[in-house]
Amino acid sequence: MSYRDTLDYLYARLPMFQRIGPAAFKKDLDNTLALCALLGNPQHRFRSIHVGGTNGKGSVSHMLAAVCQAAGLKTGLYVSPHYQDFRERIKIDGRYISRRRVVEFVAEHRAQIETIEPSFFELCVAMAFDYFAREKVDIAIVEVGLGGRLDSTNVLRPLLSVITNISYDHQNLLGDTLPQIAAEKAGIIKPGIPVVIGETHPESAPVFLAKAAETGSAIVFADQHIQALEHAGSDWRATEYNILIDGLARPGTLRVDAAGPYQAKNVATVLQALACLPAESGIRIPPAAIGEGLAQLRSRTRFQGRWQVLGQSPTILCDSAHNEAGIRLAFAELARRPFRRLHVVTGFVNDKEVDKVLGLFPAAAQYYFAKANIPRGLDASVLRDKAATFGLQGKAYVSVRNAFQAARRAAAPEDLVLVIGSIFVVAEVLPRPR
């Protein structure tokens, strides 16, 4: 099969959360363990950092990978979902897994795939772990897909576990309260393995502390030790930070090739995680590698879709914020930014409780409602009508492309065009990968 044929086979045969939603979620690790056993348990043949949380886990994973690369380590990176190219999920030193490797993996294991019948995500995880083991990476940064306890990536025994934060998302799968969601996320805390929690929250912190005590894991809350304070040298594309560690200023500023409302917390989490890597792991991160890696985040890791500037005059910005916490922070950040009028291109998946997020969108904007080109996409007319009950006015379009083009045509040079609401909407406006 060709690469295209291989992807068509995977999409058609394997349940895929990205396309069909909760029906693709498997509530155990049996298939992943069976696939890994078939492959010789590759998850045990490389060192790793496991990164979970509600918001920021993708950014933190990319930042950790960029720093490890700058330190001269051969670095694997597994993230999900992908925006445009399946291979975005599996990278080594910023380079996508080759099309040939994907084709060969599926062809070699097709019979077992059809016997085990894994989900799309389960197969992706097995493919990534096999690839990292075969390529002998020095370390792999592995992002949790959904939750933690039952996520396919949770067959790892990492050097370090990281949980960025807890907020409401995927309640139909993870629970309706923050402690319930935290308990699922805490499932990645392993016996004797240290864990870094990015943010202290009164409802989730006791859950993490109890789990760490149960597993005998050293636990550190990053925000109790490290602060990243935005410096005046920041702009739409990058941010400079003054760093305080236990109240003492770190020399100089730290420039990060990313911007947006969550990044200060993410940077603090990354710095704490690097400080907590076990000495016996053999992983050494020189201080210079931290500055170099973060300053070259996008070029080293192909980081995309998060607070990404796509054009100027008008400013065109896309952001993958899609839940209450992320959208609230995104619009709070925009309130600090200079522009004349706001044009919002937005869409959601049909299993999202959109009433909870539409109230966070500003009424003083022009809206362009669209359905992402996936089966889960919420009909644009339905979204428009729901939005109208929150005072949000705009038109429904037959595609994201049409909505985006209409927003660009309507925007004056001093305006801002924002694409937000679903990563699947953002995916349709990003530049095609090379």
Q: Are residues 387 and 240 in the same domain?
A: no
* Residue at which a domain ends, from 267, 301, 335: 301
Which structural domain, as residue segments, surrounds residue 402?
Answer: 308-427
* Residue at which a domain ends, from 301, 329, 361: 301
* Residue 373, burial from CB neighbour count under 10 angstroms (0-12, 13-18, 19+): middle
Q: Are residues 199 and 271 in the same domain?
A: yes
Closest CA to 54 of 162, 189, 193, 194: 162
Q: Are residues 170 and 319 in the same domain?
A: no
Q: Are residues 276 and 334 in the same domain?
A: no
Report yes or no: 139 and 47 within 8 Å, Cβ to Cβ.
Answer: yes
- The answer to whether residue 333 is domain-embedded is yes
* Residue at which a domain ends, from 248, 277, 301: 301
* Residue 234, burial from CB neighbour count under 10 angstroms (0-12, 13-18, 19+): middle
Query: How do the pLDDT tens digits run along the chain, 434 residues long?
Result: 899 999 999 988 886 545 545 554 567 899 999 999 999 999 999 999 999 998 899 999 999 999 999 999 999 999 999 999 999 999 999 999 999 999 999 999 999 999 999 988 999 999 999 999 999 999 999 999 988 999 999 999 999 999 999 876 545 456 668 889 999 999 999 999 999 999 999 999 999 999 999 999 999 999 999 999 988 667 888 999 999 999 999 888 999 999 988 899 999 999 999 999 999 999 999 999 999 999 999 999 999 999 999 999 999 999 998 888 889 999 999 998 889 999 999 999 887 788 889 999 999 999 999 998 888 899 999 999 999 999 999 999 999 999 999 999 999 999 999 999 989 999 999 988 66
Q: Are residues 112 and 214 in the same domain?
A: yes
Q: For the full predicted model, state whether its pTM sits above 0.75.
A: yes
Q: How many angstroms separate the CA atoms of 126 and 131, rounded?
A: 9
Q: How many angstroms separate the CA atoms of 295 and 196, rounded?
A: 23
